[in-house]
């Protein structure tokens, strides 16, 4: 029988067929899937195609398996998979630096459960067809070929979620420690889970000078703090709110130093409350602005004799404030 497409126009006929095949709907899996993912991540059709490539398509009844899958909007990306079967509900949490890695790992998990459900359905059908025969030992489900995840350590099957580590270096101005504003440097280590985290802070405020009663006085401080933080995230922007306890070694002296003055270093206990904004320029590098106030629980004071014969008395204020700007790195 002659072909409906002439030989000379075979290429022209093949082109629409290729277009039609590329526009074909994704394969239908024998399970019910509920999918929720941000627009920047792979969508349900890509996920279904990936699962179908692993398990293959077979004619048969639908499996009694329902999968509810949701992905978070900002890195590090997280996927929550809830699998409902007659035997109960299984919940798995995955985490990775990219949505693509999560989709590949999630498709591997769902493909494994589909193959197990198929094997159980076959055994149940055999028992119904031959009720008087001795049942065969259970057939192990074939394991699908694992996809290439790129960097496997970034995909973790988490019961206890590993915290994200961030290092920050900041510089800025502190108000209320000395007579004048102090220039300060800060190093900060953050350990973050989904929304809550812990911050360990080391900060040094360089001494500032002020003339009082004919003499010169300078005050600086070195501090360490532990903070509990709660973060609000939106795509590349994170807004942390933190509060904790700070211990400072206040350093005050008259210039030139008076040997009869109080000890140079005194302890200051404060309660810092902070609000910051960080913006991720890339997966590992970001910019952070940190502001806050520090309420003094103790107020160290310093006394020294001025050249005029008057005593210089300085006591730290009740509240100090600061504004710091710097970079953060996710190693």
Percent of all residues in the chain with a pLDDT value above 70, rounded to a whole number: 70
Q: Is 224 helix (H, G, I), strand (E, B) or coil?
A: strand
Domain boundary among 108, 135, 157: 157
Question: What is the rounded distance in angstroms from the CA atom of residue 152 to the CA atom of residue 80?
Answer: 18
Residue 121: closest CA among 64, 192, 198, 74: 64
Q: Note the helical H segments in 130-249.
A: none
- Would you state the pLDDT for residue 10? 38
Q: Are 143 and 256 in a shared domain?
A: no
Q: Are 215 and 280 in a shared domain?
A: yes
**pLDDT (tens digit per residue) in 95-121:** 877 888 888 888 888 888 888 888 887
- Would you state the pLDDT for residue 19? 39
Q: Are 31 and 53 in a shared domain?
A: yes
Q: Are 215 and 268 in a shared domain?
A: yes
From residue 194, alpha-carbon distances to 12, 162, 188 in Å are: 54, 10, 19
- Would you state the pLDDT for residue 23? 47
Burial of 132 (0-12, 13-18, 19+ CB in 10 A): exposed
| 49 in Cβ contact with 27 (< 8 Å) | yes
Residue 222: closest CA among 246, 250, 201, 243: 250
Q: Which residue has the higher pLDDT, 145 or 265?
A: 265
- Residue 187 CB partners (closer than 8 Å, separation 6+): 167, 168, 169, 170, 201, 202, 203
Q: How confident is the model at residue 16 (pLDDT cuts 50, 70, 90)?
A: very low
Residue 13 tokens read as 């006929």
Q: Are 283 and 211 in a shared domain?
A: yes
Q: Are 202 and 151 in a shared domain?
A: no
Question: What is the rounded distance in angstroms from the CA atom of residue 207 to the CA atom of residue 302?
Answer: 14
- The number of distinct structural domains making up the chain is 2
Q: What is the CATH number of the domain that holds 227?
A: 2.40.160.20
Q: Are 125 and 186 in a shared domain?
A: no
Q: How confident is the model at residue 303 (pLDDT cuts 50, 70, 90)?
A: low
Mean pLDDT of 280-293: 89
Residue 1 within any structural domain of the chain: no
Q: How confident is the model at residue 141 (pLDDT cuts 50, 70, 90)?
A: low
Q: Are 124 and 189 in a shared domain?
A: no
Question: What is the rounded distance in angstroms from the CA atom of residue 316 to the CA atom of residue 205?
Answer: 14
Burial call 205-234: b when 16+ CB within 10 Å, e when fewer: bebbeeebeebbbbbbbebebebebebebe
Q: Are 152 and 168 in a shared domain?
A: no
Question: What is the rounded distance in angstroms from the CA atom of residue 227 to the CA atom of residue 242?
Answer: 6
Q: What is the CATH number of the domain that holds 84?
A: 3.30.160.100
Q: How confident is the model at residue 3 (pLDDT cuts 50, 70, 90)?
A: very low
What range defines the domain where residue 170 resides?
Answer: 164-329
| 217 in Cβ contact with 252 (< 8 Å) | yes
Q: How far is CA 41 from the centre of its chain?
A: 17
**pLDDT (tens digit per residue) in 205-217:** 888 877 665 567 7
Question: What is the rounded distance in angstroms from the CA atom of residue 70 to the CA atom of residue 262?
Answer: 62
Question: What is the rounded distance in angstroms from the CA atom of residue 54 to the CA atom of residue 69?
Answer: 18
């Amino acid at each position: 029988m002659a072909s409906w497409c002439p030989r000379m126009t075979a290429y022209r006929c093949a082109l629409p067929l290729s277009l039609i095949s590329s526009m074909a709907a994704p394969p239908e899996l024998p399970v019910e899937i509920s999918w929720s993912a941000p627009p920047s991540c792979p969508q349900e059709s890509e996920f279904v195609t990936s699962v179908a490539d692993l398990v293959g398509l077979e004619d048969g009844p639908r499996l009694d398996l329902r999968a509810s899958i949701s992905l978070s909007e900002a890195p590090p990306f997280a996927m929550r998979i809830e699998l409902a079967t007659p035997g109960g509900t299984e919940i798995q949490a995955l985490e990775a630096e990219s949505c693509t890695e999560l989709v590949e790992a999630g498709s591997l998990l769902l493909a494994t459960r589909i193959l197990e459900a198929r094997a159980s359905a076959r055994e149940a059908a055999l028992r119904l067809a031959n009720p008087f025969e001795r049942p065969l030992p259970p057939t192990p489900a074939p394991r699908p070929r694992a996809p290439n995840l790129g960097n496997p350590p970034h995909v973790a099957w988490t019961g206890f979620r590993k915290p994200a580590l961030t290092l920050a270096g900041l510089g800025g101005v502190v108000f209320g420690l000395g007579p004048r504003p102090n220039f300060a440097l800060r190093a900060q280590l953050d350990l973050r889970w989904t929304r809550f985290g812990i911050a360990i802070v080391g900060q040094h405020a360089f001494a500032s000078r002020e003339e009082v009663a004919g003499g010169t006085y300078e005050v600086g401080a070195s501090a360490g703090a532990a903070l509990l933080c709660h973060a609000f995230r939106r795509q590349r922007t994170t807004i942390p709110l933190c509060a904790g306890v700070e211990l400072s070694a206040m350093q005050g002296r008259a210039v030139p130093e008076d040997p009869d003055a109080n000890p140079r270093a005194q302890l200051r206990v404060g309660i810092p409350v902070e609000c910051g904004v960080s913006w991720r320029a890339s997966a590992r590098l970001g910019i952070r602005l940190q502001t806050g106030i520090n309420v003094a629980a103790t107020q160290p004071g310093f006394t020294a004799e001025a050249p005029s014969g008057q005593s210089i008395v300085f006591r730290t204020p009740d509240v100090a404030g600061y504004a710091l700007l710097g970079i953060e790195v996710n190693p």
